[in-house]
A and B are shown apart, each in its own frame.
Chain A
Amino acid sequence: MPKETVEQYIGNVTDTVSSFWHGLSITLSYLLRRPITTQYPDRTELPVRDTLPPRYRGFLEVDASICTGCQACERACPIGCIQINLEKDAANPKLRVVTQFDIDEAKCMFCGLCVEPCPTGAIQHTREFEASQRSVRNLTFRWADPENPFPVYKVVKGAEYFPRAPLGSILRARLEAKRWDAPGPEFLPPDPNAAAPKKAGPGAKAAAAKPAPAKVAEAKPAEAVQAAAQTAAPAEATAAPVAPAAPAAAQPDGGAAAAPTPPNPGDGQPA
């Protein structure tokens, strides 16, 4: 590097100082402008969900009263986080009823692909996004009650309007009804894997594993979270039936607690 002359050196110093003040003057000018940030959530003028654009892709909502049970949304979902089961109504064999309509919002990537093929607009994204739950299982929204299945909606030919409840109202009511730290539900129907640890672990070890599914419901929330975290690793659940007695007994909670999740097509996919 060539040696700097004294003039160059002083020139550099003045350059630096002047450009330093130049930048700082812009920064200082922002002191006098209105801030553009707001404190979330308690200082926003409106609830944040009301300020979001209508196309916002938040939590999914299903209006069961206009769902035709066509399962187009289930097929469209690339992850497979929608699970729909239909059965014939016992009273009226011509009518089909939806016995299960679960959306695993914990897995959902809010892509909106399930909304597009729906013929009636029963499944829609809402602007709800504040729905964190301590138990990840509470994020599986059950839009059909297995005890009390809803009949499928018959589309009138040429209909252009479907009587949908105001978007977000159903979900809102549900979210408000549920505490954020509510314990996770025990899922129906029982998972076929639930029996697996009993088969694998002989005698006393199996007995240790048996009460586990029931335990989850009353388990401390922290435990429920742990158990739920293990459902996130399907390898754990699927490994249980194959594994010899020792590993199955080593973590009876892990293997068995993971079991009562709904049989989800997503587990089989490399999603």
Chain B
Amino acid sequence: MEKLILRRVDHAGEEMLLNFGPQHPSTHGVINFLVDTDGEVMKKAIPDIGYLHRALEKIGESTGYPGFMPYTDRIDYVAAMFANEGYAIAVERLLKVEVPPRAQWLRAIACELCRIASHLVSTGTMASDIGATTPLVHALRERETVNDLIEALCGARLTYNYLRIGGVAFDLPEGWRDRVLKFLDHFDTMLVEWDRLITFNTIYIRRLANVAVIGKEQAIDYGLVGPNLRGSGMDWDVRRDVPYGAYPNFKFEVPIGRGKYGTVGDAFDRYYVRVLEMMESSKIVRQALESLPEGEIVAKVPRKVKPEAGEAFSRVESARGEMAYYVVSDGTEKAYRVRARTGSFTAMGIIEDISPGLMVADLVALIASIDVVAPEIDR
């Protein structure tokens, strides 16, 4: 990177070095891209990350086990429920506690609602990055409703801190089930409208099809996860293939990119996978609400969480792909090591490889289509 900065003076003619971000709305957070361009065509775009590094993993070593839960909210503020869930599962494995079924179901409901909220932001901002401003407003309107629902459930709109080690914090509030079902009915029609509004808009399709193609092999090599990996045609979903929580009890499809309007793995495929995933999430929430078992919502966990020395690993399918937690205990009340593996971080790696030959305007499409969230990259 230093080399690139130094070379700036050597550029003659059309070539120039462009600093894209860190305060640019379409960088999806505080990320800087060093873009080496020749006119409109990029030679290379190098992501420069670390602006939002808050040493969250280190904090995990100094707060107790339950005390780290609100910090996990801050790892990915657009979809905090998954970070909660991954951490909770890892510590539960350390403690060897069994989560009661009702808590499992509640977790699944909360997480899938959260996935809908996150994908709405992702698809909405993608449309607005591409230049269509209206869809973002529609997406945010729906997301507000989801936030209202989650707020009624756990008291906060973004930093939920809903999960507890061994279960969840609250049971369903009164009348919440009906509110959710009503919203989902509305949401399903809204998705149809959404497709008419933007997904199948010719201009939008032409803008995204065949842009920033990531092949299946390449996606695996770079460790892409979640919708980015599925957009490249890889059929892999942690919820289905490494089941956890209540997911084995639900029937849902795993949408993958099929190259609907271009090549498999282009920006449109990654976008469309997310739209389809919202439909699947809606299905899962319905099933979960229908089959919600009765019982406890939190397992018996001692007030002093003090697991035996050992290590535990958990993986959950977050809205941004596979999220993994690795927690090491040394037998004290504080973790020896907490490590979070996030989807956005690996997704940043591929930008440098995909960018040569893309237009500068397509970089925006690429960033939007891999749906990175800056705090999740840096943690």
A110 contacts which chain B residues (CB < 8 A)? Answer: 156, 159
Quick one: given A19-B202, A23-B198, A78-B70, are A57 and B156 in contact (CB under 8 Å)?
yes
In whole angstroms, what is the CA distance A263 to B348 when docked? 42
A36 at the binding interface (Cβ < 8 Å):
yes
A113 contacts which chain B residues (CB < 8 A)? Answer: 66-67, 69-70, 161
B197 touches A23 (CB 8 A): yes
In whole angstroms, what is the CA distance A191 to B303 when docked? 33
* Chain B residue with Cβ nearest A53: B152
A270 at the binding interface (Cβ < 8 Å):
yes
In whole angstroms, what is the CA distance A57 to B73 when docked? 15
B170 contacts which chain A residues (CB < 8 A)? Answer: 55
A112 at the binding interface (Cβ < 8 Å):
yes
In whole angstroms, what is the CA distance A37 to B200 when docked? 27
In whole angstroms, what is the CA distance A257 to B196 when docked? 60
Quick one: given A26-B193, A78-B70, are A15 and B159 in contact (CB under 8 Å)?
no
- Which residues of chain B in 133-155 are interfacial with respect to chain A, using CB atoms and an 8 Å cutoff? 134, 141, 151-155
Shortest CB-to-CB span from A81 to chain B, Å, is 12
Binds A, one of B54-62, B220-228, B249-257, B313-321: B54-62
Quick one: given A27-B134, A55-B173, are A22 and B201 in contact (CB under 8 Å)?
yes
A55 touches B62 (CB 8 A): no
B196 touches A26 (CB 8 A): yes
A109 at the binding interface (Cβ < 8 Å):
yes
In whole angstroms, what is the CA distance A36 to B148 when docked? 14
A207 at the binding interface (Cβ < 8 Å):
no
B201 touches A36 (CB 8 A): no
In whole angstroms, what is the CA distance A113 to B196 when docked? 44
In whole angstroms, what is the CA distance A117 to B66 when docked? 12
Q: Interface on chain A toward B: helix, strand, loop, or mixed SS?
A: loop
Q: Name the one of A18, A117, A270 contacting B58, with C-beta atoms under 8 angstroms.
A: A270
27 A-B interface contacts by CB (under 8 A): A16-B202, A19-B200, A19-B201, A20-B201, A20-B203, A22-B201, A27-B197, A53-B152, A55-B152, A55-B153, A55-B154, A55-B170, A55-B173, A56-B155, A56-B156, A78-B63, A78-B68, A78-B71, A111-B70, A112-B155, A112-B161, A112-B169, A116-B169, A269-B62, A270-B55, A270-B58, A270-B59
How many of chain A's residues have a CB under 8 angstroms from any CB in B?
A: 31
B201 contacts which chain A residues (CB < 8 A)? Answer: 19-20, 22-23
B161 contacts which chain A residues (CB < 8 A)? Answer: 111-113
A198 at the binding interface (Cβ < 8 Å):
no
A271 at the binding interface (Cβ < 8 Å):
yes
- Which residues of chain A in 89-126 are interfacial with respect to chain B, using CB atoms and an 8 Å cutoff? 109-113, 116-117, 125
B21 contacts which chain A residues (CB < 8 A)? Answer: none
In whole angstroms, what is the CA distance A12 to B203 when docked? 10
Range class of the B interface residue count: 35 or more
In whole angstroms, what is the CA distance A156 to B197 when docked? 63
* Chain A residue with Cβ nearest B170: A55
Highest count of chain B CB atoms <10 Å: which of A16, A36, A109 = A109
* Chain A residue with Cβ nearest B59: A270
Shortest CB-to-CB span from B303 to chain A, Å, is 7
Highest count of chain A CB atoms <10 Å: which of B62, B66, B71, B155 = B155
In whole angstroms, what is the CA distance A121 to B225 when docked? 44
A36 contacts which chain B residues (CB < 8 A)? Answer: 141
A76 contacts which chain B residues (CB < 8 A)? Answer: 66-67
Shortest CB-to-CB span from A115 to chain B, Å, is 10
A270 contacts which chain B residues (CB < 8 A)? Answer: 55, 58-59, 62
Shortest CB-to-CB span from A70 to chain B, Å, is 12
B22 at the binding interface (Cβ < 8 Å):
no
B203 touches A19 (CB 8 A): yes
- Which residues of chain B in 288-318 are interfacial with respect to chain A, using CB atoms and an 8 Å cutoff? 303
B155 touches A57 (CB 8 A): yes
* Chain B residue with Cβ nearest A12: B202
B303 contacts which chain A residues (CB < 8 A)? Answer: 117
Q: Name the one of A16, A27, A56, A116 contacting B151, with C-beta atoms under 8 angstroms.
A: A56
A109 touches B159 (CB 8 A): yes
In whole angstroms, what is the CA distance A63 to B71 when docked? 27
* Chain A residue with Cβ nearest B161: A111
- Which residues of chain B in 4-62 are interfacial with respect to chain A, using CB atoms and an 8 Å cutoff? 55, 58-59, 62
B245 at the binding interface (Cβ < 8 Å):
no
In whole angstroms, what is the CA distance A271 to B64 when docked? 12
Q: Name the one of B58, B159, B197 contacting A26, with C-beta atoms under 8 angstroms.
A: B197
Shortest CB-to-CB span from B353 to chain A, Å, is 24
In whole angstroms, what is the CA distance A78 to B63 when docked? 6
B152 contacts which chain A residues (CB < 8 A)? Answer: 53, 55
In whole angstroms, what is the CA distance A140 to B170 when docked? 28
Shortest CB-to-CB span from B106 to chain A, Å, is 14
- Which residues of chain B in 104-145 are interfacial with respect to chain A, using CB atoms and an 8 Å cutoff? 132, 134, 141
